[in-house]
């Protein structure tokens, strides 16, 4: 009785193990036909990424990380099981992303994010000699709190060192001197507030006159533009006038020389002869006047001629 009970227990255990193996085989074959394996090669840190980490495609869970392996001093290979109906193509890229407060522990986790960033189409296939198709990776994105605090601490240290180098004793003294000068300037402005007010008022009045001035300036500019257009339109005529003037100016010298010679001849030759001729004519006119007077007094002179004048005392014929 005891022997049969023990045999039954062994048989039941064997059947249970067999059922578990059969269920596992069925699950394996079903899952193996449902998932496709891809690999990722990256040189970024994969701290916190473990087997079983989720794989998301645009935020939807499409698979799991099956293996994280170090293949070189700075290279890591990650194997992924992704659902075959996931739209993984040659445009798909993978990003190792940390979400939460820390890269390890209950407050955060690291996962693989898949996205299509290009325009290429077609399924992703394995390269010659490679076992699995490779998904290109992008720089990892870590949004955890410990990394952020570390970066903030580093930036604060850099800022502190920069302030130490800038705010030395000489610089602080210069700042104090500048502040004192600004205080003096502010006091001067406060003391001359009325004068500044009058200056502002005068400036405001003067600004009101800028309109007519600008209008007149605008009219002047228009007139100058018209003159410039006229000169540009008559450029050929102006060039001809300038050329003719240049040629005529070359003839001024001979003309001036001949005019100078003519004036000299008039002064030295013609004018003296004219003066002598005028004197002779004057004498002739006087003689004719006297003759006319004699004829008027004694017309017989024309017949008898003029009698000789009477002899004076002591004169003989």
Instruction: Output the furthest CA–CA distance in the chain (Å, rounded).
Output: 233
User: Distances from the Cα of 301 to the Cαs of 225, 293, 308, 309, in angstroms?
Assistant: 91, 12, 11, 13
pLDDT at position 46? 85
Task: Report CA-CA distances (Å) from 215 to 48, 127, 212, 226, 247.
Answer: 75, 78, 5, 17, 44
Pair type for strands 35-42 and 75-83: antiparallel
Is it the case that residue 62 has pLDDT exceeding 50?
Answer: yes
Considering 55-64, 199-208, 228-237, the range whose residues carry the highest mean pLDDT is: 55-64
Q: How far apart are CA 98 and CA 49, in angstroms?
A: 9
CA 259 → CA 119, 246, 255, 264, distances in Å? 96, 21, 6, 9
pLDDT in tens, 221-243: 777 777 777 877 778 877 778 87
Highest mean pLDDT out of 36-50, 99-113, 254-268, 278-292: 36-50
d(CA 48, CA 221): 76
The alpha carbon dihedral of 264, 265, 268, 272 has a sign of negative
Distance of CA 126 to the CA centre of its chain: 50
Q: Give the distance, in angstroms, between the CA of residue 310 and the centroid of all CA atoms in the same chain.
A: 125
**DSSP string covering 102-167:** -SSSTTEEEEEEEEE-S---SB--PPTT-SS-B--B---EE--HHHHHHHHHHHHHHHHHHHHHHS
The model carries a pTM of: 0.39
Instruction: Give the whole-angstrom CA distance, residue 54 versus residue 112.
Output: 7
Q: Quick: pLDDT tens for 142-169.
A: 555 556 677 788 888 888 888 777 777 7
Q: Helices (DSSP H) in 167-314: which residue ranges?
A: 169-191, 193-208, 210-233, 235-265, 271-297, 301-304
H or E element that contains 67: strand 60-72
Calpha distance 176→112 (Å, rounded): 56
How many other β-carbons are positioned within 10 Å of the β-carbon of residue 59?
Answer: 7
Most confident of 117-131, 134-148, 219-233: 117-131
What SS3 class is residue 201? Answer: helix
Q: How far is residue 159 from each of residues 120, 154, 169, 170, 175, measured CA to CA in Å?
A: 45, 9, 18, 19, 19
């Amino acid at each position: 009785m005891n022997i049969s009970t023990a045999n039954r227990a062994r048989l039941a255990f064997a059947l249970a193990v067999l059922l578990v193996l059969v269920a596992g085989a069925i699950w394996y074959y079903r899952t193996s036909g449902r998932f496709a394996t891809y690999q990722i090669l990256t040189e970024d840190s994969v701290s916190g990424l473990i087997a079983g980490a989720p794989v998301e495609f645009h935020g939807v869970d499409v698979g799991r990380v099956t293996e994280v392996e170090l293949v070189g001093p700075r290279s890591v290979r990650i194997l992924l099981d992704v659902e075959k109906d996931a739209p993984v193509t040659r445009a798909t890229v993978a990003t190792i992303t940390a979400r939460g407060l820390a890269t390890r522990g209950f407050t955060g986790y690291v996962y693989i994010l898949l996205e299509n960033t290009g325009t290429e189409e077609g399924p992703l296939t394995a390269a010659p000699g490679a076992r699995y198709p490779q998904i290109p990776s992008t720089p990892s994105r870590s949004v955890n709190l410990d990394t952020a605090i570390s970066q903030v601490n580093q930036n604060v240290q850099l800022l502190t060192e920069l302030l130490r180098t800038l705010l030395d004793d000489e610089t602080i003294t210069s700042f104090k001197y500048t502040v004192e000068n600004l205080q003096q300037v502010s006091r001067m402005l406060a003391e001359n507030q009325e004068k500044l007010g009058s200056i502002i008022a005068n400036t405001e009045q003067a600004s009101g006159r800028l309109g007519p001035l600008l209008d007149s300036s605008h009219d002047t500019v228009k007139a100058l533009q018209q003159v410039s257009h006229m000169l540009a339109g008559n450029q050929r005529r102006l060039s001809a006038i300038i050329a003719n003037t240049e040629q005529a100016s070359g003839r001024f010298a001979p003309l001036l020389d001949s005019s100078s010679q003519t004036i000299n001849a008039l002064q030295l030759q013609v004018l003296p002869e004219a003066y002598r001729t005028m004197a002779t004519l004057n004498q002739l006119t006087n003689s004719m006047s006297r003759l006319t007077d004699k004829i008027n007094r004694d017309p017989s002179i024309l017949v008898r001629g003029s009698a000789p004048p009477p002899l004076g005392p002591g004169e003989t014929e």
